[in-house]
Structure 1
Amino acid sequence: MIRAIVSFFVFVVDVIYGNRSYARFYVLETIARVPYFSYLSVLHLYETLGSWRKADWLKVHFAQTWNELHHLLIMESLGGDRHWLDRFIAQHIAVMYYWAIVPLYMLFPEYAYYLMELIESHAYHTYDEYLKAHEAQLKAQSAPQVAIAFYRDGDLYMFEEVQTTGDREFRRPKVDNLYDVFVNIRDDEWEHVKTMEALQKPEVQPTFHSPHTVFVAAKALSSEGEV
């Protein structure tokens, strides 16, 4: 059922926007942020009621909203929100989507994460196909300043917090041109997919930690091994 819903939504968006790529990306990024807001709202409710407190879950989902926000800002800088109708469609779908995800997450969190896994996977493949089709054109254009600030020059803590690190260093992407920007956005989407997959596993949920928590622990073990 969830897969069918996502497939229908993807079909409708693709039909409406066709080759208007930046407008389509703007709509997708506006909507893609919403489930993370829903997760945070429910998690804050649980914490307020004293029934459940998971600081690392809150950190990761907030970092994901921050990541998607910058994807959205990039699309706005490219003119994706130029038309009133595109803004109207995206924002109204987003409001309805928020209230659909909140009860789903409360009742069936694994389904809410599976839904987002499918959406993020679609986003990854959409950007990957766009990169293959427009490589030369994108490499000839400069990177927007908002992308340079987010991926290279700003405070990278929030960017790092959506990365699945294991025992490796955090990703440090290039931002030399618009092609690099779309590569980075595509790769961000895959990090979201991996997180959504992890949170659906029963054995992972009780011990899930944010990337920085995992990274610091791995560094500590490495230091102990060297002593």
Structure 2
Amino acid sequence: METKTRKAATAHKIIEAGEGVLNLVWGKADERRAASLEIIARTAYTAEESACHYLETIGLDKEGTIRDTLELARYQDTNEQTHEDIFARDLDGLKNWGDRFLARHIAVVIYWVFAITTLIDHEMAALLGEAVEVEAVKTYRRMLKEQPEEWLDQPAAPTATHYWEKPNSMWRVRGDHMPGSMRDVVEAIVRDEADHVKANSKKATAF
């Protein structure tokens, strides 16, 4: 965790407990796990966007902090959507009905948990998001080690190339080269998730 507080440690323990349960279903660091977890993680940003927009609309954004958080959450959401499309669509990570059913139903629960938590305690919501991204970094680092060389050396997924071509994409802004293989894609995603850890820490301290 980037944030070093007791509250941050509590948030991380909560996410670690949830991660332990999900590991029973998606234990391997492969496209199944990535596609399912990205749906769940992206929903958290969508919920944060909704809650921040509501808080801004009713006039609680006196210093512009909520607007800054809203814009950052939108940027992160787009990046996470790219991750989901790479593994769920390009690599067919959700081809199993059971994976789709479980991931989508968990995502519904996560939406309301993060939306309500953002309304009540935005700092805690950001810290939970930070903890989610810490675990995401671990997943993609595992993928680089556990996936066979032929999988990592296959051409980059079309969604990844398309995302890189966008002038305002996180990859272009960061100065990443166009990914040529899935190894390049996963390495870029590791950097994405590490950036999200820092961004969520920044959001937490803003409140």
Please give the range of the TM-score, normalised by the shorter of the 2 chains. 0.7 to 0.9
| Residue of structure 2 equivalent to 1:166 | none
Normalization by structure 1: what TM-score?
0.79
Deviations 1:75-96 (A, max 9, x none): 0211101011111111111011
Runs (5+) with no aligned partner, structure 1: 164-168, 207-227
1-structure distance, mates of 2:175, 2:203 = 21
| Residue of structure 2 equivalent to 1:119 | 132
| Residue of structure 2 equivalent to 1:59 | 71
Asked if 2 retains the 8 angstrom alpha-carbon contact of 1:29 and 1:72, the reply is yes
Tell me the secondary structure at the aligned position of residue 47 of structure 1. helix
2-structure distance, mates of 1:81, 1:35 = 19
Deviations 1:64-111 (A, max 9, x none): 110000000000211101011111111111011111111211111111
Deviations 1:42-68 (A, max 9, x none): 111122212215433222110111000
Q: 1:28 to 1:140 in 2, by over 3 A?
A: same
| Residue of structure 2 equivalent to 1:200 | 204
Runs (5+) with no aligned partner, structure 2: 1-9
| Percent of residue pairs identical | 29
2-structure distance, mates of 1:12, 1:97 = 14
Which one of the candidate residues 149, 159, 170 is aligned to 1:159?
A: 170
Residue 40 of structure 2 corresponds to residue 31 of structure 1: yes
Deviations 1:167-213 (A, max 9, x none): xx732234011100111111100000010111222xxx28xxxxxxx
2-structure distance, mates of 1:15, 1:46 = 37
Asked if 2 retains the 8 angstrom alpha-carbon contact of 1:13 and 1:24, the reply is no
**Higher relative contact order, chain-length normalized (CA < 8 Å, sep 6+):** 2
- Partner amino acid, structure 2, of 1:58: L
Q: How does 1:1-227 map to 2 (within 5 A)?
A: 1-19=10-28, 21-52=30-61, 53=64, 54-76=66-88, 77-134=90-147, 136-151=149-164, 153=165, 155-159=166-170, 170-201=174-205, 205=206
Deviations 1:14-57 (A, max 9, x none): 11123372111111000001121111111111222122154332
